[in-house]
């Protein structure tokens, strides 16, 4: 029942935040931060126990919805889901902190959309009925469209429409695949079902399985995103308000990776293993190509956006290596990237809010003016390049170690991305904070250092990355059981196919 409560709190909190603006424009952000704080506390209780008789599921809820069509309200959370739920709640608080002073127009409607986006994400991470999963997949996209289109920057309408088209078209492909899978279940078992555990028993083969799997893969790799489905992300990030970028990079991208791990590979083990060399090649291409394109950017938010695509390539690489080390690396990279990317977008958004430009050619020499911001930026840049002792290093190291068992060549190519990451991360620090400060080059009358409120959020993100880097087992142990089960189930399916 707690999973229904988690979703309901965000939906009701969003409505209350919108309505509260009638009484005072300051009320919506207070309602939002209280709502998400309560949400995060409830999420932490999921760490305490598991469902009786099911050692991997921390919470579950099942009820009929549309029984005639085999559609039910099936929610469940295992260790993998719990990690991503806590990441969602934590970054929800960070996003509200980023929007605290930046959002001044239609404040109630903004926090309504922000909380409903988070509600959709929580639904995605817990829904085990595929029709229900698709419902929440759509729920989280529409509010994000409004966040970009209404509170974005100069080309916000173009960026919002591009985001919507990419995600909607790929989502429709996934819906077609879901319906085909339910139809094959009806043909083989005599009744419709969209339940995840029922659909695991559906047998498809050959080109049919491959085409159905591709519907899932395209939808999830578009959200991840991966080359060649990544073109929407730089525009969305550069035009979104800071809080939108935090949720987009820290949470929404992770729904694509989660979908690959939970659905795309386990439902189609044979087709996925056949497709693995292509997927891993796309991952290596994403890592190198987007790292190279990042060097050509002068817009600091576009640069960070391309580096996000590059880093998420390690997730795709780890997923399709499909062994425990690689999958653990993918999960750790998802979590660590969520924190480091959110911080970097907050810093870029904070700079833009202060000096009204994202153009790095107009920056330089800011360190003496904003030493706190410069120090924080250096920390998260070092984290993003994979500094040992921080969470990003653990994730990328494990992903590469697992991928090495599947493809030595592609792993070696992908490892070059670590070299590029070191160069572009430190290049940004050099361009923005070092060099000679030139008066009058930017509107610097509001170039103030980070205040205590902002430092609280950045310190929380820093502590998260240090904890992940120094005590990774606390995260690895939580996701180990679900990942081992998925690996075992896929191996059984492959062996049964070989025997037949």
Q: What is the pLDDT of residues 369-405, one digit of tens each?
A: 889 999 999 999 999 888 899 999 999 999 999 999 9
CA distances from 161 to 101, 138, 194, 238 (A): 26, 15, 30, 14
Band (pLDDT 50/70/90 cuts) for residue 53 is very low
pLDDT > 90: percent of the chain? 65
Q: Which of 75-79, 176-180, 353-357, 456-460 has the lowest mean pLDDT?
A: 353-357
pLDDT at 419: 87
Q: Which residues contact 103 (CB under 8 A, 6 or more apart)?
A: 29, 110, 151, 241, 243
Indicate if the pLDDT at residue 272 is higher than 50: yes
pLDDT digits (tens, 9 = 90+) for 477-494: 898 888 988 888 777 766
Indicate if the pLDDT at residue 422 is higher than 90: no
Q: Phi/psi at 63 (nearest 5 deg)? A: -155, 150
Distance CA 273, CA 268 (A): 9
Print the domain residue range for 229. 2-499
Indicate if the pLDDT at residue 123 is higher than 60: yes
Distance CA 324, CA 126 (A): 22
Among 347, 350, 348, 321, smallest CA distance to 333 is for 321
Indicate if the pLDDT at residue 354 is higher than 80: yes
pLDDT at 52: 43
Burial readout 179-208 (b: 16 or more C-beta within 10 A, e: otherwise): bbbbebbeeeeeebbbbbebbeebebeeee
Q: If DSSP codes are grouped into helix, strand and coil, which group holds residue 26? A: coil
Q: Which of 137-141, 175-179, 205-209, 297-301 has the lowest mean pLDDT?
A: 205-209
User: DSSP code of 264?
Assistant: I
Number of H helices, E strands in the chain: 20, 2
- Cβ(327)–Cβ(319) below 8 Å: yes
Query: Which residue bears the tokens 């904003």?
Result: 370
- Total structural domains in the chain? 1
Exposed/middle/buried for 54, CB within 10 Å: 0-12, 13-18, 19+?
exposed
Band (pLDDT 50/70/90 cuts) for residue 320 is very high
Distance CA 321, CA 414 (A): 13
pLDDT at 104: 85
pTM as predicted = 0.94
Indicate if the pLDDT at residue 124 is higher than 90: yes
pLDDT at 369: 87
pLDDT at 365: 84
CA distances from 428 to 81, 303, 353, 382 (A): 34, 9, 18, 11
Mean pLDDT of 411-439: 86
pLDDT digits (tens, 9 = 90+) for 142-178: 999 999 999 988 889 999 999 999 999 999 999 999 9
- Check whether the bond before 298 is cis (ω within 30° of 0): no
Q: Phi/psi at 76 (nearest 5 deg)? A: -160, 155
CA distances from 414 to 102, 249, 280, 320, 323 (A): 38, 21, 9, 14, 17
């Amino acid at each position: 029942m707690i999973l229904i409560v988690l979703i309901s709190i965000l939906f009701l909190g969003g409505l209350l935040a919108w309505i509260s603006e009638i009484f005072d424009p300051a009320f919506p952000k207070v309602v939002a931060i209280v709502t998400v704080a309560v949400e995060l506390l409830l999420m932490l209780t999921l760490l305490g126990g598991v469902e009786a008789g099911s050692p991997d599921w921390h919470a579950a809820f099942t009820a009929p919805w549309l029984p005639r069509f085999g559609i039910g309200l099936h929610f469940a959370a295992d260790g993998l889901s719990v990690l991503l739920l806590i990441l969602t709640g934590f970054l929800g608080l960070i996003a509200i902190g980023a929007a605290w002073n930046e959002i001044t127009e239609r404040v109630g409607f903004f926090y309504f959309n922000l909380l409903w986006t988070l509600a959709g994400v929580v639904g995605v991470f817990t829904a085990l009925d595929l029709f229900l999963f698709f419902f929440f997949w759509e729920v989280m996209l529409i509010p994000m469209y409004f966040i970009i289109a209404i509170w974005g920057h100069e080309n916000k309408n173009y960026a919002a429409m591009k985001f919507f088209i990419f995600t909607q078209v790929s989502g429709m492909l996934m819906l077609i695949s879901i319906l085909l899978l339910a139809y094959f279940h009806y043909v083989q078992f005599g009744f419709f079902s969209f339940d995840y555990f029922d659909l695991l028993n559906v047998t498809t083969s050959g080109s049919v399985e491959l085409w159905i799997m591709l519907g899932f893969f395209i939808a999830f790799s578009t959200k991840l995103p991966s080359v060649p489905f990544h073109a929407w992300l730089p525009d969305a990030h550069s035009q979104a308000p800071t809080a939108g970028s935090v949720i987009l990079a820290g949470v929404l991208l992770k729904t694509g990776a989660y979908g690959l791990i939970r659905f795309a590979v386990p439902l189609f083990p044979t087709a996925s293993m056949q497709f693995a060399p292509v997927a891993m090649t796309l991952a290596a291409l994403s890592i190198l190509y987007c790292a190279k394109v990042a060097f050509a950017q002068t817009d600091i938010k576009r640069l960070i956006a391309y580096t996000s695509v590059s880093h998420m390539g390690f997730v795709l690489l780890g997923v399709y290596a499909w062994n425990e080390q690689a999958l653990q690396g993918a999960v750790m990279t998802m979590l660590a990237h969520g924190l480091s990317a959110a911080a970097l977008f907050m810093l870029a958004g904070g700079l833009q809010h202060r000096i009204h430009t994202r153009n790095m050619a107009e920056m330089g020499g800011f360190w003496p003016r904003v030493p706190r911001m410069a120090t924080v930026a250096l920390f998260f840049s070092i984290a993003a390049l994979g500094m040992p002792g921080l969470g990003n290093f653990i994730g990328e190291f494990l992903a590469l170690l697992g991928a090495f068992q599947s493809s030595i060549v592609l792993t070696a190519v992908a490892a070059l991305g670590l070299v590029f990451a070191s160069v572009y991360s430190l290049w940004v620090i050099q361009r923005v904070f070092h060099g000679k400060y030139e008066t009058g080059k930017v509107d610097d009358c509001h170039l103030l250092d980070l205040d205590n409120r902002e430092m609280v959020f950045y310190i929380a993100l820093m502590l998260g990355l240090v904890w992940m880097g120094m005590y990774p087992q606390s995260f690895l142990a939580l996701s180990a059981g679900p990942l081992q089960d998925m690996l075992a189930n896929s191996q059984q399916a492959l062996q049964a196919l070989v025997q037949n």
